[in-house]
């Protein structure tokens, strides 16, 4: 195997450590970068080398493209792993990395560019025969066009930023009275949050499921999937709990969805690990977007397939052919991930950054914890509120739920409010136990409401 000798990890927190763990196993040296408040963070201690990059604000640190490339060159790293968030889906950064004689551990800048536009990717995938929801082709700039589209397909519709992410700027429109304002507001938010005002409108589904397929492809165009994940438990259109496999999956649906996911990867010349996201509603599924990076929830696919996705990312990026054929990948058991955020679930998930005064992480059979925190660690308010991922594996779904309940009982995080009590309620909720979930589940079931 011709892996890299040294890799810079352009991220922080649990994901930086996750990537470094794979590097350590493979004998690859690791380089961390850190902002001022992250001076004592775990990822800094874990790495072989660490460089201060700038002040707390992401634009001065984890988004500082030139400085990151400068450090990588200076310390003679051969590749950069972007993790998720920050620069992971920034095609300009990937391009800069490519041009600096370094390897970007992810797909090509071209692919990131194409899939970074929800609009372009929808158009390309629809042309390739992948099912998509009706949408305003070419984007929408006027309320007249928006109204005409909605009249044709029927309300409700959803306004989305083409360059969007993190659920930002999405607005549901129930009738023609709200269209003009939603378009105007959508363009404003898209411009300020993503630097691109392009928006589009698509048919809104009432309480669908979010199901996604993990794919891996190498430079020879050989691609496989690692089955699906169900990610319908969300707050503000962002995932809180994920599981693999999807509890309502049938063989026929799985064949169709994984086929579509591999078509998506082929059409955009995908290399490395990626995720194809679909909405599922009343027996039909629709391509939503492709995330051209390692996902937070890759852990549960690893647990049910036994494939270490980050190792595969490193192997693929270093030019190795994919180590697996599709028929060597099988599903065994069930895995659930609970995202532990420093947030108050009783107060609309308001962030609750602060100092961890007591910490005890769970263990025992079937439990995996990917976290970046420790006692005395002060969670900086500037970054993502997710502080840990608690994953449980069982041979059956109910065994995974039982282990998750037990691990939640064992998990002690004191000093900040967390989503742990919400996960406790959820793991005892009858509808959840039966697998009857959809994207509005948390609000509909009134879980953790005052
Ligand atoms: P982002 O990239 O901002 O995360 P996505 O397009 O991935 O946005 O959508 C995130 C979530 O928003 C989905 O999981 C789903 O809950 C909801 N959503 C998006 N599009 C639709 C739609 N057309 N109908 C219903 N819900 C939707």
pLDDT at 2: 65
pLDDT one-digit tens code per residue, 41-66: 999 999 999 999 999 999 999 999 99
Closest CA to ligand 1's atom 21: 204
Active-site positions read 293
Beta bridge partners of 392: 336, 367
Average pLDDT over residues 294-305: 98
pLDDT at 447: 81
270 lines ligand 1 (CB under 6 A): no
Choose one of 119, 121, 167 to mutate for the ligand 1 pocket test, by most ligand atoms within 8 angstroms of C-beta: 167
Burial 395-413 (b: 16+ CB within 10 A, else e): eebebbbebbbbbbeebeb
pLDDT at 449: 59
CA–centroid distance, 236 to ligand 1, in Å, is 10
Choose one of 174, 202, 212, 279 to mutate for the ligand 1 pocket test, by most ligand atoms within 8 angstroms of C-beta: 279
CA–centroid distance, 362 to ligand 1, in Å, is 32
In angstroms, what CA-CA distances link 19 with 16, 32, 117, 298? 5, 11, 27, 12
Residue 205 has pLDDT above 90, yes or no: yes
pLDDT one-digit tens code per residue, 82-114: 999 999 999 999 999 999 999 999 999 999 999
Closest CA to ligand 1's atom 8: 167
Beta carbons within 8 Å of 353's beta carbon, 6+ residues apart: 342, 378, 379, 380, 381, 385, 416
Token pair listed for 208: 């669908």
pLDDT at 445: 87
Say what percent of the chain tops pLDDT 70.
99
Q: Which of 365, 420, 425 is nearest to 394 (CA)?
A: 365
pLDDT at 165: 86
Give the sign of the dihedral formed by CA 341, CA 347, CA 348, CA 353: negative
More confident position, 208 or 168: 208
Residue 274 has pLDDT above 90, yes or no: yes
ipTM of the complex: 0.97
Sheet of 79-81, strands arranged across: 49-54, 29-35, 6-9, 79-81, 103-104
CA–centroid distance, 237 to ligand 1, in Å, is 6
Q: Is residue 100 within 8 Å of residue 69, measured between CB atoms?
A: yes
Mean pLDDT, rounded, of the chain? 96
439 lines ligand 1 (CB under 6 A): yes
More confident position, 141 or 449: 141
pLDDT one-digit tens code per residue, 115-174: 999 999 999 999 999 999 999 998 998 889 989 999 999 999 999 999 988 889 899 999
């Amino acid at each position: 195997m011709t892996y890299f000798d040294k890799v810079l990890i352009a991220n922080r927190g649990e994901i930086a450590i996750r990537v470094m763990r794979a590097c350590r196993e493979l004998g690859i040296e690791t380089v961390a970068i850190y902002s001022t408040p992250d001076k004592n963070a775990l990822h800094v201690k874990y790495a072989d080398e660490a460089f201060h990059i700038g002040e707390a604000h992401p634009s001065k640190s984890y988004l500082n493209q030139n400085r990151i490339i400068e450090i990588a060159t200076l310390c003679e790293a051969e590749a950069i792993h972007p993790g998720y968030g920050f620069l992971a889906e920034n095609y300009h950064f990937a391009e800069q990395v490519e041009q600096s004689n370094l390897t970007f551990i992810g797909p090509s800048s071209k692919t990131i560019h194409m899939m970074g536009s929800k609009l372009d990717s929808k158009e390309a995938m629809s042309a390739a025969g992948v099912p998509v929801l009706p949408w305003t082709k070419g984007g929408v700039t006027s309320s007249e066009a928006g109204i005409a589209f909605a009249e044709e397909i029927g309300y409700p519709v959803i306004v989305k930023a083409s360059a969007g992410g993190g659920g930002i700027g999405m607005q549901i429109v129930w009738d023609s009275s709200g269209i003009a304002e939603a378009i105007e507001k959508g363009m404003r938010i898209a411009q300020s949050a993503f630097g691109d005002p392009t928006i589009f409108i698509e048919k809104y589904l009432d309480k669908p499921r979010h199901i996604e397929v993990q794919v891996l492809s190498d430079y020879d165009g050989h691609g496989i999937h690692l089955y699906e994940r169900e990610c319908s438990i969300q707050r503000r259109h962002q995932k809180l709990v994920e599981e693999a496999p999807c509890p309502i999956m049938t063989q026929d649906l799985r064949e169709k969805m994984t086929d579509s996911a591999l078509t998506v990867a082929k059409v955009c010349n995908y290399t490395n690990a990626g995720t194809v996201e679909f909405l599922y509603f009343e027996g039909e599924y629709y391509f939503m977007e492709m995330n051209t990076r390692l996902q937070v929830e890759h852990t549960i696919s690893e647990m049910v397939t036994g494939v270490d996705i980050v190792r595969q990312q490193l192997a693929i990026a270093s030019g190795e052919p994919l180590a697996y054929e599709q028929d060597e990948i099988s599903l065994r058991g069930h895995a659930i991930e609970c995202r532990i955020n420093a947030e108050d679930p009783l107060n609309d998930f308001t962030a609750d950054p602060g100092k961890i005064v007591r910490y005890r992480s769970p263990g025992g059979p079937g439990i995996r914890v990917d976290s970046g925190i420790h006692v005395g660690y002060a969670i900086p308010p500037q970054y993502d509120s997710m502080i840990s991922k608690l994953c449980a594996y069982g041979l059956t779904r109910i065994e995974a739920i039982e282990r998750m309940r037990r691990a939640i009982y064992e998990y002690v995080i004191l000093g900040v409010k967390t989503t742990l009590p919400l996960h406790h309620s959820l793991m005892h909720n009858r509808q959840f136990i039966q697998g009857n979930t959809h994207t509005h589940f948390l609000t509909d079931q009134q879980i953790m409401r005052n």
